[in-house]
């Protein structure tokens, strides 16, 4: 790779088909959408674009289908400044898609088809090793085969990289591999699935995070939607409250948060500062429609903070 990157993101690229509704449908119900958008998405691609917009040099390792949607997705993130040399086209697969319904409160429901994302292999990861060697941090999620995700974590650990795992969707990863992660980011539902703890108070959130710290994970963030996020390490726990905003669409807020934590950690090495920024940036992202279309630039974030 000609361009060395600061963050290397592994994972999914999807095209999102987003319908805006008065309410989310019940089983068997047909609703007419008020508005419709076809926008680039996929958790990894969202995170790569979000970090790039925050002024970080980002590369991405992933797969799309050899089709129109795949071409569109690569062109799009390339225009966003993401280095795409390690994104491959898989001839035998269609590009991943997500069908998203968003109600008038900004709540959403999502159906995905992994498509080419599922064909990412260990050899694809090994072929992108040079990019990994020159990066500072890696981000991955679990919209890929579990064995591939575990290989990424082991390889990143071998090269002493800062590993940020957004364990979404929840997959029962090898506990030894999970303990190699420097920063685990999960939401309330994912934290419950990992720990069995109901997340309904800050105290219960701290308790769940400490369970995960005790499994050898250096730092844990549990995101709490409108209530912000909690960062827990072996020695401390701190809750970060977001600013109040008018919610339009929360589709990529979690991805925006992951990217912002990663970007600010790469910039200054202070995780507490990074989470504080990320909570505010994610809040700003829910004020706009769409996944990647809602991700703020560093300039938009600075203007947002000056206006408060």
Q: What percent of the chain has pLDDT over 70?
A: 99
Going along the chain from its start, the domains and CATH numbers come out as 10-306 (3.40.1190.20)
2 pLDDT above the threshold of 70: no
Q: Report how far residue 58's alpha carbon sits from residue 131's, in angstroms, rounded to the nearest whole number.
A: 10
- Using one digit for the tens of pLDDT, what is the confidence trace for 165-219? 999 888 889 999 999 999 999 999 999 999 999 999 999 999 999 999 999 999 9
Query: Is residue 296 pLDDT above 70, yes or no?
Result: yes
Strands 87-90 and 58-65: parallel
User: What is the Cα–Cα distance from 38 to 290, expressed in whole angstroms?
Assistant: 9
Query: Bridge partners of 60?
Result: 9
The rounded mean pLDDT for the chain is 93
Helical spans, DSSP H, in the chain: 43-53, 68-79, 122-127, 129-133, 146-158, 175-178, 188-195, 202-213, 253-268, 271-285, 298-306
What is the mean predicted confidence (pLDDT) over 224-253? 90
Q: What is the pLDDT of residues 88-127, one digit of tens each?
A: 999 989 999 989 999 998 888 889 899 999 999 999 999 9
User: Tens digits of per-residue pLDDT, 43-52?
Assistant: 999 999 999 9
The whole-angstrom separation of Cα 153 and Cα 137 is 11
25-39, 126-140, 141-155, 239-253: which range is least confident on average? Answer: 239-253
Q: Which residues, at least 6 apart from 281, have a Cβ–Cβ distance to it below 8 Å?
A: 54, 256, 257, 260, 296, 301
Which residues are part of the catalytic machinery?
255
Bridge partners, 110 (sequence order): 100
pLDDT at 151: 98
Q: What is the pLDDT of residue 279?
A: 96
- When pLDDT is averaged across residues 231-250 and rounded to a whole number, the result is 90
**pLDDT per residue over 256-269, tens digit each?**
999 999 999 999 99
* Integer-rounded Cα radius of gyration of the chain: 18
């Amino acid at each position: 790779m000609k361009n060395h990157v600061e963050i290397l993101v592994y994972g999914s690229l999807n095209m999102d088909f987003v319908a805006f509704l008065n309410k989310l449908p019940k089983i068997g119900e047909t609703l007419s959408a008020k508005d419709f958008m076809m926008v680039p998405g996929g958790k990894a691609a969202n995170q790569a674009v979000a970090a790039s917009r925050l002024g970080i040099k980002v590369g991405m390792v992933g797969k799309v289908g050899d089709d129109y949607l795949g071409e569109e997705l690569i062109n799009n993130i390339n225009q966003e400044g993401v280095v795409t040399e390690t994104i491959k086209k898989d001839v035998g697969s269609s590009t991943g898609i997500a069908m998203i319904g968003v109600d008038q409160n900004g709540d959403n429901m999502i159906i995905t088809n992994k498509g080419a994302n599922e064909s990412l292999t260990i050899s694809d990861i090994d072929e992108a090793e040079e990019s990994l060697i020159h990066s500072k941090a890696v981000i991955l999620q679990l919209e890929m085969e579990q064995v591939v995700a575990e290989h990424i974590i082991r390889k990143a650990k071998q090269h002493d990289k800062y590993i940020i795992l957004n364990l979404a969707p929840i997959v029962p990863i090898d506990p030894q591999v999970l303990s190699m992660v420097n920063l685990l980011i999960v939401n309330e539902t994912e934290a419950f699935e990992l720990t069995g703890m109901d997340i309904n108070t800050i105290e219960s959130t701290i308790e769940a995070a400490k369970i995960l710290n005790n499994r050898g994970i250096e730092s844990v963030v549990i995101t709490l939607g409108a209530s912000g996020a909690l960062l827990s390490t072996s020695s401390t726990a701190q809750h970060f409250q977001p600013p109040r905003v008018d919610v339009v669409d929360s589709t990529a807020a979690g991805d925006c948060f992951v990217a912002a934590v990663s970007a600010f950690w790469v910039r200054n090495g202070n995780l507490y500062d990074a989470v504080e920024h990320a909570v505010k940036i994610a809040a700003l992202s829910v004020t706009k429609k769409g996944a990647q279309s809602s991700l703020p630039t560093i300039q938009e974030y600075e203007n947002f903070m000056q206006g408060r």
